[in-house]
Amino acid sequence: LAKSLGAPLHGVKDAPPAQRDTVIFGLHDAGFTVRQIERYTGIGKSTVSRIVRARARTAMRAGGNVM
């Protein structure tokens, strides 16, 4: 899954930030927990959590609150 998103798991840590963020969010979107992503990629839990939260906020803003 990570490879199809742009980088193999062992290479996510060294990938450019935009590519790294895409892979992390894709893994989270596929159902992996922050802790699992941390273990698989070697990226710290706080970094993974920050990326997931930032992407979720961006998605909510893009969707808007249409009533």
Summarised one tens digit per residue, pLDDT across range 13-43 is 999 999 999 999 999 999 999 999 999 999 9
Measure the CA–CA gap between 53 and 16, rounded to whole angstroms: 19
Q: How does DSSP assign 9-60, residue by residue?
A: GGGTTTS-HHHHHHHHHHHHHTT--HHHHHHHH---HHHHHHHHHHHHHHHH
pTM confidence score: 0.79
Classify domain 2-63 at the CATH topology level.
Answer: Arc Repressor Mutant, subunit A (1.10.10)
- 46-66 pLDDT, tens per residue? 999 999 999 888 878 887 555
Extents of the domains making up the chain: 2-63
pLDDT given at position 56: 84
Residue scoring higher pLDDT (52 or 8): 52
Which two structure tokens, joined as six digits, stand for 11?
A: 């290479």
Which two structure tokens, joined as six digits, stand for 7?
A: 């980088």
